[in-house]
Amino acid sequence: MTIKTKGYAAKSATSPLTPFEFEYQDPAENEIQIEVEFCGICHSDIHQARDEWGGSIFPMVPGHEIVGKVKSLGSRVTKFKVGERVGVGCMVESCQTCGSCKESLEQYCEKGFTPTYNGLYRETKKPTKGGYATQIVVDQNFVLKIPDGLDPAGAAPLLCAGITTYSPMKFVGVSRGQKIGVLGLGGLGHMAVKLANSFGAEVTVLSGSPSKKDDAKRLGAQHFALTKNEDEMTKLENHFDLIIDTVAAKHDVNQALELLKRQGTLVMVGISDKPLDLGVFGLVMKRRKIMGSLIGGIRETQEMLDHCGKHKITSDVEVIKAAQINEAYERTVKGQVRYRFVIDSKSY
Ligand SMILES: [Zn+2]
Ligand SMILES: [Zn+2]
């Protein structure tokens, strides 16, 4: 038997997304069929649908911030029940045998993880298809439980934007009273503010746009500073334990480094496609650190979701219909979303 699925796909790098029908095979013994309720629009969906990173596979059904309900199960699935609310993030497979996978750091799988869309399944070499669709079939090891009480639309972006900012905070060890800077207040930044706040940190949003000040406070930041204002920046020198840098374009990292305390850490989670100019002085003089971080492993993603369930944290979302996807892409590129578009799967 096959599972008929409706969704939206990009047929080429230059065409808008249009309605697209495809099929899944019934779940294999370790797989789960999920009826998708909501899927977030991540900026990386747009980069890949437009082939801005190269190597894109078309037709492409994007989407890796997926929340839905279990519809059917393979014969060996033990972790999930029909009807349960679940999520799928950026990965659907990894080798499960390398050192990284053994530590549940599947995102750093030494053989490379299989992305939820725009990738090829390890065995069949068929292209993966994401969450801009009514259904998805996924290995149970890559399915997460969504805690009761979380709004499903608001929970969808936790699967990428949430874990991307949670994981480095856990790695660095954010604790109560620490001073955390969040550079850039977009989809990633707004999750970083909420999560840092939930750890009891003192949060400052560092932004280039004064219009974000009220939102920063509303989201839970204690302070706001304009990166263009030199006086404000000078006052914050040697101030932060950690700065989460969410800016996905070329920008001045040296300014951010100067704001770190001795041994403070600058974590890059936004990916600029152009190299950044790094002045080594800023690192050496205060033994500062700069690191990158990619999403999070499956175990840690579940931990993040449970944390969000306990603290009632979801993303601020604007729910749209499938027919609005292309318009939402334009608005996301222009930064006109507060803070994530989420597609309602009933609209396909
Ligand atoms: Zn994403
Ligand atoms: Zn691996």
Q: What domains does the chain contain, in order, with CATH numbers?
A: 2-160+296-347 (3.90.180.10), 161-292 (3.40.50.720)
Separation of 113 CA from ligand 2 center, angstroms? 7
Separation of 295 CA from ligand 1 center, angstroms? 8
Which positions ≥6 away from 330 have C-beta within 8 Å? none
Separation of 304 CA from ligand 2 center, angstroms? 21
Amino acid identity for residue 112 in this structure: G
| Residue 231 neighbours by CB distance under 10 Å | 9
Q: Which ligand is nearest to the CA of 105?
A: 2
Interatomic CA distance for residues 193 and 184, integer angstroms:
10
Q: Which ligand is nearest to the CA of 100?
A: 2
Q: Which ligand is nearest to the CA of 116?
A: 1
Which positions ≥6 away from 52 have C-beta within 8 Å? 46, 273
Separation of 106 CA from ligand 2 center, angstroms? 6
Closest residue by Cα to residue 26 from 8, 11, 59, 4: 4
Separation of 102 CA from ligand 2 center, angstroms? 7
Interatomic CA distance for residues 60 and 17, integer angstroms:
9
pLDDT of residue 248: 87
Q: Please give the model's pTM, rounded to 2 decimal places.
A: 0.97
Q: Which residues of the chain have pLDDT under 70?
A: none
Transcribe 165-213 into DSSP letters.
Answer: HHHHHHHHT--TT-EEEEE--SHHHHHHHHHHHHTT-EEEEEES-GGGH
pLDDT of residue 253: 95
Which positions ≥6 away from 288 have C-beta within 8 Å? 257, 260, 262, 263, 264, 265, 266, 282
Transcribe 34-100 into DSSP letters.
Answer: EEEEEEE--HHHHHHHTTSSS---SSB-----EEEEEEEE-TT--S--TT-EEEE-SEEE--SSSHH
Q: By the 8 A CB rule, do 308 and 155 touch?
A: yes
Q: Which ligand is nearest to the CA of 90?
A: 1
Secondary structure (3-state) at 250: coil
Separation of 142 CA from ligand 2 center, angstroms? 13
pLDDT of residue 272: 84
In a 10 Å sphere around its CB, with 0-12 CB exposed, 13-18 middle and 19+ buried, how is residue 249 labelled?
exposed
Strand positions, DSSP E, 233-280 = 240-245, 260-268
How many CA within 13 A on the CB side of residue 343?
30
Separation of 295 CA from ligand 2 center, angstroms? 15
| Paired residues of 135 in beta bridges | 35
